[in-house]
Amino acid sequence: MTEPLLVATDLVKSFGPTKALDGASMSVRAGEVVAVMGPSGSGKSTLLHCLAGIIQPDEGTVTYAGNELSAMPDGPRSALRRTDFGFVFQFGQLVPELSCLENVALPLRLGGLGRRAAETRAREWLDRLEVADVAGKRPGEASGGQGQRVAVARALVMGPKAVFADEPTGALDSLNGEHVMRLLTSAARDSGAAVILVTHEARVAAYSDREVIVRDGHARQVAFA
């Protein structure tokens, strides 16, 4: 077995008097799809945000590719979120003023790639996610399912090592949700990216290799199926 790509150890995180994480630990290997599950308010989104370096734990460590992510300054952590990490959120969070093609190309442009090359690669990902037909449309002109597939294309276009998906089907009906999950997990596995997926739905978690159950700020890893 390869060494884990991401490791969270004994994480503690409080927001005011509320302790969101209370000694949570988990690990993720490269190419693995892990579903983080638990009731509302259990700390699963906080755990995801700590793993992604979006927030810093009060105690404990997060290690990415052998480096302590939780000890990095803001600059290097932000750089990792541009190059090594991809993100898919419940409502997509696409830039409404840009076309779907421009949204997918945006991470490449921010990374210094020229417009033509960035848009060529973005078109390839839109085609792969079966939404090439909305390339010239703005997000508000696409359906919810199409918009979420555009968001998945944007998350994967940089070739990330890890994709963080927070309730990616929460705003979709079951049919569109299944479609998004099938394409997300298939594309991520093909590219070798790990997927850390926060969900409360068993049908979404079924696309994962295993589950991590979060309850009262603690995490319990469930063995491989």
Contact 152, 186 (CB under 8 A): no
pLDDT of residue 200: 86
Find the mean pLDDT for residues 130-151. Answer: 94
Whole-structure pTM value: 0.91
Contact 201, 41 (CB under 8 A): no
Q: How far apart are CA 152 and CA 139, in angstroms?
A: 13
- What structural domains and CATH numbers belong to the chain? 1-84+193-225 (3.40.50.300)
List, for residues 144-197, the tens digit of each pLDDT value: 999 999 999 999 999 999 999 998 888 888 888 999 899 899 998 888 899 999
List the alpha helices (DSSP H) in the chain: 44-51, 74-83, 100-110, 115-128, 144-156, 174-191, 202-205
pLDDT of residue 225: 43
